[in-house]
Amino acid sequence: MDEVSAPPIASARFGIGEVVRHRLLDFRGVIFDVDPVFANSEEWYQAIPAEIRPSKDQPFYHLLAENGEGSYVAYVSQQNLVADEEDEPVDHPAIDNLFEAFEPGRYKLRPEHRH
């Protein structure tokens, strides 16, 4: 497996607790972790259609996501995320374990999860 090193300046556009929407696919979610560069399996990466496969040298976000069919965990490149404009909470069963109060556009991380 090829190692991918962080670019000289790896800056995440979004932070933990922010509610975001996928730019191409119909889902939204709350960010619960950020990788400075791609950190998933090569098999997962190759499963993305080549015409929309993102570069590995950008931040990737772990989301508690929801769509019209249910909730799940998603892993999304920075280039495929935009700020969510709904100002509504995300419907995911794991949110209460990680976050407390919801304010429009973001969740506040529970004190025991801050580092």
pLDDT bucket at 4, cuts 50 / 70 / 90: low
- Give the integer Cα–Cα distance in Å for 55 and 70: 28
Q: Count Cα neighbours of 95 within 13 Å in the Cβ-side half-sphere.
A: 23
47 secondary structure, DSSP code = T
User: Tens digits of per-residue pLDDT, 18-75?
Assistant: 999 999 999 999 999 999 999 999 999 999 999 889 999 999 999 999 999 999 999 9
pTM summary value? 0.88
Whether 2 shows a pLDDT value over 70: the answer reads no
